[in-house]
Amino acid sequence: MELLDATQAALHLLLSGDADLWRIVGVSLSVTLRAMLIAMPLGISVGYLLASARFPGRRPLIVVTQGLLASPTVVVGLILYLLLSRQGVFGQLHLLFTQTAMVIGQVLIALPALIAFSLSAIQGADPRARETAVALGASVPRIAWTMLVEVRFALMVAVCNAFGRVISEIGCSLMVGGNIAGVTRNMPTAIALETSKGDFAQGIALGIVLLVVALSINSAFAFFQGESRR
């Protein structure tokens, strides 16, 4: 019965437009979207470079990138905390416990997924697409664009995977953001905090929002994929 009451209270918070709840949602989406806008072009570009170019150290770089896919986000947060703290290399920038620090952390978390999945997608592309572009005298940027368009759906999977990884991570955001109400408190950190306090209503409400966001992104991907095939 207690769970039912908490769920009803959660729905009331969502439908009543609770200011604190939606402020947390806004912080979470703002930080994650900014991180993804930075990470996407960088991650996809590096993935394309690793897939199409040959240079010394390429194989170790690929191995390290793929290994970072399993790296705990709290370790990323710890390293970033040490760098941004007062005694750290970048302590003078005063970025610790700010949204900027959270964005940097989420970019670092998203990059391995974007690079690894982009690399795999481009390596699995039909080689005739590149050969045709080269035969037609396309420039290097044009060849790259042709290949990226060829594997666009696989790249969308990479973006969805990276987005899901960063919007739900808690370790890094908690360490470099500090879970400050109205400033750096996002959905995962708020869920952990409110649940530990016994306030299940807000935790359930934020969990519902996270699920809706994830389902919406995957539904949009499935829709565009289906439309393209038609």
Q: What is the pLDDT of residues 29-60, one digit of tens each?
A: 999 999 999 999 999 999 999 998 888 989 99
Mean confidence (pLDDT) of the chain:
89
Alpha helices in the chain (DSSP H): 2-15, 19-52, 58-67, 73-84, 99-123, 127-135, 140-150, 152-167, 171-177, 187-196, 200-229
Q: Does the pTM exceed 0.85? A: yes
Instruction: Write down the pLDDT at residue 40.
Output: 96
Per run of 10 residues, the mean pLDDT along the chain (length 230 residues) is 77 87 94 96 95 90 90 93 93 94 96 94 84 83 89 89 91 93 92 86 90 84 64
Smallest CA-to-CA distance from 202 within 32, 11, 15 is with: 11
Q: Compute the chain's Rg from CA coordinates.
A: 21
Smallest CA-to-CA distance from 159 within 211, 217, 105 is with: 217
Instruction: Write down the pLDDT at residue 1.
Output: 43
- Exposure string (b/e) for 84-97, b if CB count within 10 Å is 16 or more? beeebeeeeeebbb
